[in-house]
Chain A
Amino acid sequence: MTGQRRLELAWADYKDSNCLRVCGWTVAELRELGDLPGAELSRRLAILPSELVKAGAQMQALQPLAGRFEIDRDAIYFIPRFPFLEGTSYSLLIESGPGDSGINNVEALTIQLPARSSPPTTRVVAIYPSAHELPVNQLKLYVHFSSPMSEGWAARAVHMRRADNDEPLEDVFLNMEPELWDRERRRLTLLLDPGRIKRGLAPNQEAGYPLIEGVPVVVIIDAAFRDAAGQVLQTGAERRYNVVPPLRVRVDPKDWQYHCPTVGSRDPLTVEFDRPLDHALLEHSLWVNDAAGVPLDGRGSIGTGERYWRFEPQLPWEEGRYVLIVDPRLEDLAGNSVIRVFDRDLMREEDAPADARQVAIDFTCVVSTPAQPL
């Protein structure tokens, strides 16, 4: 098969997929190859990612790219089972039968699928908590992106540094595989190593808390974090926090302040927490029912620093009882929930786990006194 001919590789749309077309065969070659059964044809022709061709030569049994060859008029097409990847070079290896020397000749042709280049469009929208302070036993961070993201970058592209001397803080985050994403792959949940947070566990005793009380830190998201299209971010992002004493008390809605709206208005009900709460859980852990237990139409929103929650009803408030419903799974920044303290001290009876059912807080709206006519 080494006669007078010049083979050429080209990308081609063939049978509704992006295929490789090999043309330049002699008529005799095409006839010979066309007569071969499929398995034999696959032994004579193979596609490999070019970077593996060298390894393939060393590894006798390296299986080539899955797919099939088809002969169509004067060309041979390779229809891959898995689509060719942009920016990747592929090589066609052609093995001819043993020549005069008795050794099979292998010919290689290489082609690259060009990478499309477009400017990065994805950015970090928010990093939560949005408060300026983290308890030293902070459990979670959330990073929100403007577009769906690739998995596999969290361990590489998210870091924490001391803000005072710029030294990196090592092993702060739990190396979570699989990574924790929301359904749309826009929000990444990062856990600080819980073994280092829980008192008495070996990691806590050996390595201490991931954070250091009194030492401010900066959370850094590298621009290298890839979005779902494989693109880097427009720019990196960072957020600075002061680190304050640990937080180890159950979340108790009785400790919150309730700013009740006025009957007849559509002013918001404002709930002021005694501490910042978990942003993601706040999104759906609170709601308002009327006295009959029917949820009101309206809009809930989270206030600055996750210290507030407001509810604006679609219809004006009426006289009578309303109920704020609290999902007991609601947590604060250190993973303490309405039910439990994150690492409970058995000796503290007040930290005993609470009833896991939802909490209902009654409130009534303020009846405004009409101004008396003079």
Chain B
Amino acid sequence: MTTVDISKYGLEVGTPAIKSVGPLAFGPEGILFVADNLGATIFAIDVDDSDSVSEPRPLDVDNIDTRLAAYLGCSREDVFIRDMAVHPSSQNVYLSVMRGSGSSAMPVLIKIGADGTLSEVTLEDVPFSQTAIENAPAQDDERLDTRLVQGNREGEVRERDGVRYRVARDRLRTATVTDMAYVDGLLLVAGASNEEFSSTLRRIPFPFDGNTLTNSLEIFHVSHGKYETASPIRTFVPYGGNASVLASYTCTPVVHFSLKDLKSETQIKGRTVAELGAGNTPIDMVSYMRDGQEYLLVSNARHPLMKIACKDIDQQESLTQPQEPVGVPRQTLPHKGVGHMANLNGSYVLMMEQDDEGNASLRSYNISTL
């Protein structure tokens, strides 16, 4: 059973061999993208969710981690909620969850219905397609995603102009997906390398065709006119009708860049619009419209939930000189312990909140209160 035209998106019915579940993003017609960092693959899955919604509704689930533990038959410590996404038409909430750790860890996709009921998203005999996320090659690297190898233990022998040589897929470097978003036929994938310190935003055309366009982003930081080119993107959000992206880096600056500038094989210069400060880690970003204005929320490991007006980002000059306060005007919101966030039908922002005892709950906030 399916609700989408599977041939249009190059999907085939089968059972995706998912080894782990991480970042999630919804694509066209409710196709769910699932990043599998252990398997170095991104899956596109038709989750066949045709639930209809008559009017916008909030979703609140207390102690979602305890509920998951009961449903999955494990302790709360064995529940790892990796990401959250809202189905564009059914408004059901999807969670990527790892149950247990090590070799007994199981990847599970959970759907939360309107009444808070948990169900497992079936992965048997579903329409899906997949693409590998091998680490991107360097610019102008003629070896593309293969590399020449020496010795005779690895790779395969190829012959060109009578010369034999060995080629292997580049397996040593792995790219760990940190965030994803789907924009106009492209899946944008931010990742970190386990070797070189790089800033790579991949643009993967969907339907998957085996080609991965790669952009290496060059960004300014607030550093006395200093300048650097590389830092992995931790989380990002498209906004402004998908014209812009706001990204936050592992080294905490918040950077704006234009999607129009994203072209394959080029470096682009992002504009640093804010800094988040020491010891902090950005966790997630979400955009919403209120009174005709677009706003972004940024959740952080240590700093409070932050609200930024998109018009202020567009007006913010590049930060190239030290200044106080650093960057775009921002407002601190009182919500505590916010991690993952998602826009729920344009009327609410759904937040995964952790209390002081470590219990996680899902709460919906009407955007008129944010």
Contact = CB atoms under 8 A, between A and B. Distances in A.
Interface of A: 47-49, 51-52, 55-56, 59, 61-67, 80-85, 88, 90, 139-140, 148-152, 171, 174-176, 178-183, 185, 187, 189, 191, 193-203, 205-207, 226-230, 278, 280-281, 283-284, 287-288, 292-300, 311, 314, 327-329, 331, 335, 337, 340, 342-347, 353, 356-358
B277 A52 contact: no
A230 B102 contact: yes
5 residue pairs, one from A and one from B, having the closest CB atoms: A200-B223, A195-B251, A203-B278, A150-B102, A65-B73
Nearest to B168: A284
Given A296-B150, A356-B138, A52 B66 contact: yes
Contacts of B281: 174-175
Given A85-B74, A201-B221, A206-B277, A180 B194 contact: yes
A89 to B, nearest CB: 10
Nearest to B63: A59
Given A202-B252, A292-B163, A88 B74 contact: yes
A278 to B, nearest CB: 7
Interface residues of B, number: 85
A171 B279 contact: yes
Contact of A178 (B22, B62, B151, B275): B22
A171 B301 CA distance: 13
B104 interface: yes
Contact of B73 (A80, A151, A152, A182): A80
Interface stretch (B4-12, B51-59, B225-233, B237-245): B225-233
Given A139-B197, A342-B197, A200 B222 contact: yes
A372 to B, nearest CB: 37
B222 A51 contact: no
Contacts of B100: 85
Given A229-B102, A356-B138, A201 B194 contact: no
A78 to B, nearest CB: 10
Contacts of B251: 193-195, 197-198, 201, 203
B17 to A, nearest CB: 15
14 contacts: A52-B70, A56-B70, A63-B118, A83-B106, A88-B74, A178-B176, A180-B174, A200-B226, A203-B278, A207-B279, A230-B103, A298-B151, A340-B229, A357-B138
A191 B250 contact: yes
Main secondary structure of the interface of B (DSSP, over half): loop
Interface in B6-48: 22, 37-38, 40
B103 A85 contact: no
A194 B250 contact: yes
Contacts of B225: 346-347
B350 to A, nearest CB: 19
Contacts of A278: 195-196
B72 interface: yes
B40 A59 contact: no
B67 interface: yes
Contacts of A191: 197, 250
A202 B275 contact: yes
Interface string B103-131: 11110100000001110100000000000
A327 B198 CA distance: 14
Contacts of A67: 73
Given A201-B223, A203-B280, A227-B102, 4 more contacts: A85-B73, A175-B301, A202-B252, A297-B151
